[in-house]
């Protein structure tokens, strides 16, 4: 009896874990650390959240070329939705700066531009 109860509990735990770990498409936000001034170095942040599975590729590009980036540890919440912050030093000069995200739930790369709303 105890063995059957333990197997039933294990099955419920596995089922709940499977249901909560459904694929999720990432949300992408691009913003600067400081107020933007043309010609003044700043930090561009690319915050990607609410995605599953955890395998993801996040780059920040300027003029279509990847920048050297730093990133936070991969984090997740109680629903197994993951998030990560990637950031890079950038000097705004009118050239496009964008965050490129590649994930299994996307048909192709998701590109979110930073420069479209900047007062340059």
Domains of the chain with CATH codes:
23-117 (2.60.40.10)
Token representation of residue 104: 């299994």
Closest CA to 120 of 89, 99, 93: 93
Q: What is the spatial distance between Cα 7 and Cα 2, in angstroms, rounded to a whole number?
A: 9
Identify the helix (H) or strand (E) that includes residue 69: none
Average pLDDT on 13-26 reads: 66
Indicate if the pLDDT at residue 55 is higher than 90: yes
What stretches of the chain adopt beta strand conformation (E)? 27-32, 42-51, 56-62, 65-66, 70-71, 75-76, 82-90, 97-103, 110-113
Residue-wise pLDDT for 76-119, tens only, equals 999 999 999 999 999 998 899 999 999 999 999 999 999 654 54
* Per-residue confidence band for 1, with pLDDT thresholds at 50, 70 and 90: low
Indicate if the pLDDT at residue 11 is higher than 60: no
* Residues 39-57 as b or e (16 or more Cβ within 10 Å = b): eeebebbbbbbebbeeebe
Average pLDDT on 14-40 reads: 81
- For residues 51 and 64, the answer to whether their CB atoms sit within 8 Å is no
| pTM given for the model | 0.79
Average pLDDT on 22-50 reads: 95
Residue with tokens 């650390």: 33
């Amino acid at each position: 009896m105890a063995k059957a109860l333990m197997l039933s509990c294990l099955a419920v735990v596995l089922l709940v874990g499977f249901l909560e770990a459904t694929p999720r498409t990432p949300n992408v936000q691009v913003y600067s650390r400081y107020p933007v001034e043309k010609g003044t170095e700043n930090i561009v942040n690319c915050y990607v959240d609410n995605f599953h599975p955890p395998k993801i590729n996040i780059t920040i590009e300027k003029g279509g070329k990847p920048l050297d980036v730093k990133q936070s540890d991969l984090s997740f919440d109680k629903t197994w939705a993951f998030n990560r912050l990637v950031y890079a030093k950038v000097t705004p000069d009118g050239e496009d700066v964008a965050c490129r995200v590649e994930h299994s739930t996307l048909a192709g790369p998701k590109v979110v531009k930073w420069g479209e709303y900047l007062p340059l």
